[in-house]
A and B are shown apart, each in its own frame.
Chain A
């Protein structure tokens, strides 16, 4: 790609970018949200047209006007949000839109074999006959890759592939990428996570504000250098200002909380935990081990099967979601699109969601639109939410700004406890750092944060104490001291209790 330019109204999204990808390499594309990575790749895949510049394919200038043209050339793309028909099987999804040999008669057996051969060759473990909505996220991703490979893709564009994967799945996924590379495929990897880029890619191109900063060999760089290129300044790893706070008071206590689903499967087992004033309690664990359930029981979104929760010594019992908010619980949900925001509503309505029924936003059940606008404007400014206006649909904001909007709404709480689930998942470094600073500020004011995250780096950077959850059970709670070993936490995340883990160390 040479001299690519793409303008959006009032914004040059991609500014004279050159990008060269060799055969058989994993090329990482690094940059903050809004740096132009996805736009650039959409141009390559024919979803957007470049305003200037030329794409070359094997030294020949080509005109990629639509995705089918890109596919014909041998370019495949796996989007961050998968493009799969959930009610069809994996194989049907792979064949969808193709005219394989024998069309229109479907020779399923033959095609199954063909797809199976691909699976074997690249080590992609998928049950092709299974319906997509019963597959795990990792498997769905493999179906997407198979889709591209089945169409003879030579270049694979992967848009933030690891953001949806658990750490283990990520490792498996990287293994697949290495096999693909060794078979002569080229891979363009859009990513945020520095350590992942360092461990998998051959070369890295860094984009910042639509311009390419550099392309370097991965082996000749390190995290510090990359993050400097990406954000244009040094990355403040975990050097937060940590004030000495009074942590003597107990704010929240989980007492033997248990939860079963309708089939009787235990999701939470006898959880006992407490959160003190002026501390960040981190809950570490691999995704899907009961973290979301714990938060939802606490917020009143789910009802526990047994046990009780005490807030400031008072039992929450069967209190409603709203009553818990009024009692001082604020919540950043893990799934911000589904749980945190109303995407079709505007910024103003979303900021008002927690407080619309109280003065000054409403008086005697009558809404005060001007007050709602003023409040939304003040909050978006305070929390640096970049939005064209408070009447803009939240759907149109970037991920970082959406998350800041939730933060702005929830921190209106005068209460003492913020529950933050995966607060920085999928965010660029700038936005993530902003979120972290705000959480730390909260702690330094003497209030508490329950931080639930699968990102161990985040937990280690912020927490005062760390609890590890596995299969719905708390394996142990340890103070976050400099000599705390990641290995100990790793063992607990894998299902050992604190005592066992210590014994093995």
Chain B
């Protein structure tokens, strides 16, 4: 019975999305059927489109994992954006400044430095939280601005492409970029790295003693303290790991997609990642699912825009509405709680005493 009701509710949400999309597309003067075709063919119609989903999902996976791990520990890290920039900056600087004779060895060094840079960037807000009890939410956001401006300064000064007036670095040497997996698409090895990171993150969080500590600290710091767990250690460690993963997203964008560091390398993904983590209920493996799903929406929507001229804003509205529909997945339970007739069912579930 419950499964049936759930199915009906899910179907209703899909129908609501389709209805709203249809209305909006009609308003913009396009044919909804053709729009849907364009949407689907954008995702599944070509190797380029299909791989593009993963190209876009990859930074979201790294960032989403970083955010999810810190959220699980009760550290509300909203600074993934800044950590991404610091990761991108550190890894680019390392590769461009190390002598060319180091060759491909520079790639793993860049990866490690991206992780460290992201991790160190969050260390200060994390220290203020665990030592002084200062809220991390505002601090981590403020650190985003600092990081973005710092990158802006660097790519206009010592990292600027020689002979260029544009605020960007030189192209990353050929032997240091992440290998393409499918020519001529943009599908690159960073995606594999992100999947490995997701599995590692899951194992770390759910199967190691340190991950167990982090989860317990995230649920009740006081009880964790009283039973002998180290709260500052868990907070700092999860912040560093989360920041490091976000830093890897910066590395991924520079070495897999852009092949140089420029302003706006994140595209706001650091904030989208918070949404990804929330939708995934902070579970590392679900982060992968949600990232791919969100990326698919973006890719399909971009094709609709390109082929039918459906304005970008409509696409944003639809994406926003879809997210809203996903988030209201718990609506039936909330309704039951507040509706006198439906409530009886809920009571039965709630009462185990």
List A residues at the B interface (Cβ < 8 Å): 7-9, 13, 33-34, 39, 48-49, 65-66, 299, 301, 320-322, 324-325, 331, 333, 338-345, 349, 352-354, 356-357, 362, 365-367, 369, 388, 392, 396-398
Cβ of B331 within 8 Å of any chain A Cβ, yes or no, is no
Give Cα distance in the complex from A320 to B224, angstroms: 13
Instruction: Report the interface size class on chain B.
Output: 20 to 34
Stretch at the interface among B137-145, B148-156, B225-233, B322-330: B225-233
Instruction: Report whether B348 and A49 are in contact in the complex, using a CB–CB cutoff of 8 Å.
Output: no
Number of A-B contacts (CB under 8 A): 90
Cα(A396)–Cα(B350), bound, Å: 8
The residue of chain B having its C-beta at the shortest distance from the C-beta of A46 within the complex is B340
Contact B220 A365 (CB under 8 A): no
Are B219 and A345 interface neighbours, CB within 8 A?
Answer: yes
A66, B228: Cβ atoms under 8 Å?
Answer: no
A321 contact from B216, B228, B340, B352, Cβ within 8 A: B228
Interface residue B2 (Cβ < 8 Å from any Cβ of A): no
CB contact under 8 A between A388 and B223, given known A49-B340, A356-B212 = no
In the complex, what distance in Å separates the CA atom of A354 from the CA atom of B228?
A: 7
A349-B212, A357-B209, A365-B208 are known contacts. Are A9 and B223 too (CB-CB below 8 A)?
A: no
Q: Can you list 7 A-B contacts with CB-CB less than 8 angstroms, sorted by A residue number?
A: A48-B347, A66-B340, A325-B228, A342-B216, A342-B223, A353-B216, A388-B352
Residues of the A chain whose Cβ atoms lie less than 8 Å from the Cβ of B230: 320
Please give, as numbers and ranges, the residues of chain B lying within 8 Å of A340 by CB-CB distance: 223, 226
Contact residues in A for B352 (Cβ distance below 8 Å): 8, 388, 392, 396-397
Q: How far is the CA of A66 from the CA of B340 in the complex (A)?
A: 8
**Nearest-CB distance from B214 to chain A (Å)?**
12
Residues in A with CB closer than 8 Å to B351 are 8, 13, 39
- Please tell me if the beta carbons of B225 and A338 are within 8 angstroms of each other in the complex: no
Q: Report how far A8 CA is from B226 CA in the complex, Å.
A: 35
| CB <8 Å contact, A353 and B348 | no
CA distance A303 to B50 in the complex (A): 59
Cβ-defined partner of A353 (8 Å) among B227, B344, B349, B353: B227
Option from A341, A369, A397 in Cβ contact (under 8 Å) with B223: A341
Which residues of chain A come closer than 8 Å to B223, judged between CB atoms? 338-342, 353
Among the listed A66, A366, A396, which residue makes an inter-chain contact with B208, where contact means beta carbons less than 8 Å apart?
A366
Residue of B nearest to A325 (CB): B228
A65 and B216 form a contact (CB under 8 A): no
Which residues of chain B are within 8 angstroms of A388 by Cβ–Cβ distance?
352
Does B207 make an interface contact (CB < 8 A)? Answer: yes
Residues of B303-353 at the interface with A, using a CB-CB cut-off of 8 Å, are 340, 343-344, 347-349, 351-353
Q: Which residue of A lies closest to B228 (CB)?
A: A322
Does B227 lie within 8 Å of A321, measured CB to CB? yes
CB distance from A50 to the nearest CB of B (A): 10
Q: Is B210 an interface residue (CB 8 A)?
A: yes
| Interchain CB contact under 8 A, B340 and A349 | no
User: Measuring CB to CB, which residues of chain B are less than 8 angstroms from any residue of chain A?
Assistant: 206-210, 212, 215-216, 219-220, 222-230, 340, 343-344, 347-349, 351-353
A322-B229, A342-B219 given; name 7 further pairs at CB < 8 Å. A39-B351, A301-B226, A322-B228, A325-B228, A340-B223, A365-B210, A397-B352
Tell me the bound Cα distance from A357 to B207 in angstroms: 12
Q: How far is the CA of A34 from the CA of B351 in the complex (A)?
A: 11
Q: A353-B216, A365-B208, A367-B209 are in contact. Are A321 and B226 (CB under 8 A)?
A: yes
Residues of chain A contacted by B353 (CB below 8 angstroms): 33-34, 396-398
- Asked if B227 contacts A9 (CB within 8 A), the reply is no
Complex Cα distance, B346 from A49, in Å, reads 12
- A156 to B216 Cα, complex, angstroms: 40
User: Once bound together, how far apart are the Cα atoms of A339 and B219, in whole Å?
Assistant: 12
CB closest residue in chain B, given A34: B353
Minimal beta-carbon separation of B29 from chain A (angstroms):
46
Asked if A366 and B228 make an inter-chain contact with CB atoms under 8 angstroms apart, the answer reads no
When chains A and B are docked, how far (Å) is the Cα of A417 from the Cα of B347? 42
Closest A residue, CB atoms, query B351? A8
Q: Are A367 and B219 in contact (CB under 8 A)?
A: no
Judge whether B225 and A301 touch: CB under 8 Å: yes
Decide if B228 touches A344 in the complex (CB within 8 Å).
no
**What is the minimal beta-carbon distance from B73 to any residue of chain A, in angstroms?**
13
How far apart are the CA atoms of A483 and B208 in the complex, in Å? 56
Q: Which of B212, B219, B222, B229 contacts A344 (CB 8 A)?
A: B219
Q: Which residue of B lies closest to A8 (CB)?
A: B351
CB of B349 to closest CB in A, whole Å: 8
Min CB–CB distance A485 → chain B (angstroms): 36
Separation of A324 and B228 alpha carbons in the complex (Å): 9
Given A48-B347, A342-B219, also A354-B208 (CB < 8 A):
no
Bound together, the chains give a CA A27 to CA B223 distance in angstroms of: 38
- Contacts A48-B347, A388-B352: A65 and B340 contacting too (C-beta < 8 A)? yes
Chain B residues within an 8 Å CB radius of A343: 219-220
A342 to B224, Cβ gap below 8 A? yes
Please determine whether A338 and B228 come into contact, CB atoms closer than 8 angstroms.
no
B2 to nearest A CB, angstroms?
12
Residues of B contacting A333 with CB < 8 Å? Answer: 226
Instruction: Indicate if the CB atoms of B216 and A345 lie closer than 8 Å.
Output: yes
Bound complex: CA A339 to CA B229 (Å)? 12
Q: Which residue of A lies closest to B224 (CB)?
A: A342
A480 CB → nearest B CB, Å: 29
For A324, what are the chain B residues with a Cβ–Cβ distance below 8 Å?
228
Q: How far is the CA of A430 from the CA of B10 in the complex (A)?
A: 46
Q: Which residues of A contact B225 (CB under 8 A)?
A: 301, 321
Q: How far is the CA of A112 from the CA of B222 in the complex (A)?
A: 38
Which residues in B have their C-beta under 8 angstroms from that of A353? Answer: 216, 223, 227, 229
Residue with the greatest number of chain A CB neighbours at <10 A, chosen from B209, B229, B348: B209
B209 contact from A331, A356, A369, Cβ within 8 A: A356
Nearest residue, chain B, Cβ from A336: B223
Tell me the nearest residue of chain B to A66, going by C-beta: B340
Separation of A320 and B230 alpha carbons in the complex (Å): 9
Assembly CA distance A366 to B222 (angstroms): 24
Report the separation of the CA atoms of residues A461 and B320 in the bound assembly, to the nearest whole angstrom.
Answer: 64
With A301-B225, A356-B212 known to touch, is A342 a contact of B207 (CB < 8 Å)? no
Q: Which residues from B are CB-within-8-Å of A357? A: 209
Please determine whether B227 and A354 come into contact, CB atoms closer than 8 angstroms: yes
Task: Report how far A333 CA is from B209 CA in the complex, Å.
Answer: 24
In the docked arrangement, what's the CA distance between A320 and B353, Å? 36
CA distance A66 to B228 in the complex (A): 44
Please state if B228 and A367 are interface contacts (CB–CB under 8 Å).
no
Q: How far is the CA of A325 from the CA of B222 in the complex (A)?
A: 16
Q: How far is the CB of B292 from chain A (nearest CB, A)?
A: 27
Our pick among B209, B216, B347, B348 for the contact of A365 (Cβ within 8 Å) is B209
Chain A contacts for B340, CB-based, 8 A? 49, 65-66
Beta-carbon nearest neighbor of A349 in chain B: B216
Please report the C-alpha to C-alpha distance between residue A255 and residue B223 in the assembled complex, in whole angstroms.
27
Residues of B within 8 A of A320 (CB): 228, 230
What's the minimum C-beta distance from A194 to chain B, rounded to whole angstroms? 22
Query: In the bound complex, what is the Cα–Cα distance between A342 and B340 (angstroms)?
Result: 32
A9 near B348 with CB under 8 A, answer yes
Q: Which residue of A lies closest to B350 (CB)?
A: A396
